[in-house]
Each structure stands twice: as C-alpha cells, then as structure tokens.
Structure 1
Amino acid sequence: MACEHAKTKAPSSQQRVQVRVESLFDGVDFSEPLLWSEFEEFNEDLFDKVIALVESAMVQAKLGKNKKAIDEVVLVRV
C-alpha cells in the first residue's frame, strides 16, 4: 500500500520517491527512498505474469495479441 501511495502521489517525471510505512514493526516507522527502476526490477516477475494472463485472456476472447484492441486493463483480486 505504501508503494501504491508513493506511486500515485509522485509526479511521473520524478525518478525517486520516498516510501513510508508508519509502525512497520513494534511501533517503528519505515522510510526509504526508492528509484522507479528498482521498483520495476523488484516487480518484474509479477509484471510478466500479469502480461501473460492478459495475453491469454485476449486469445480466449479471439482478439489475438492485437494490443490496440484493448483500451484498459482492470485487475481484480479475488
């Protein structure tokens, strides 16, 4: 949640963002700068899985892999 908050509050041109978590452990706060390149590297495997799921859904919907046929992707956690 802290990364999502940092992402939505930081301008897209900003290369570094401060991630803050209050009371992370035993009342100790956590604050750490994070580069977007680090964020992308940490989550690369997750991004790849999401892309594979979207491509699979597109094939099942008979859209092939025509990315122009998609306006928006909404992820829902169940």
Structure 2
Amino acid sequence: MLVLSRKLGESIVIQDQIELTVLSVEGETVRIGIKAPKHVDIFRKEVYLSIQESNQESAKPSPAGMLALMKMMDDNK
C-alpha cells in the first residue's frame, strides 16, 4: 500500500484520469473530492463489499433453480 500525506486543498492523481483532493479535515473526518471519468465506478468500501456479496449470492444456484434446469435439459432430449 502506498501511503501519502496531503494537506487541505492538495491532490493526488492516479493514471492521468483520477484526481483525489482533500476538501476538509474536521477532527478524525477527512472529506475527499474525486474527479474521474464517468465510466469509472466509485464506491465507499462498505458499499462495494455489499455489492460483491450480493453478486455472489445471486450467482449461487438454488435447489429449485437446479431442479428447473435439470427438467429443461430432460425436456430437450
């Protein structure tokens, strides 16, 4: 992990397309502004992890779904 220090108003640039700017610091809370192309998805980590978990759950085969798939395969023989 790269660790950088930035002061209020200073930025970090990632691959010429993404710019992170420190907007404010209040106690232990830091507000960060992000400029990135529209095609780049940006999520808070807890939201990203929730999306990943939801996607994994959706990809799991359900017993009812498996039975329906087996029936379709038998019907196509």
Q: Same fold (TM over 0.5)?
A: no
Larger Rg: 2
Normalised to the residue count of structure 2, the TM-score between the two structures is 0.28
Structure with greater helix share of residues: 1
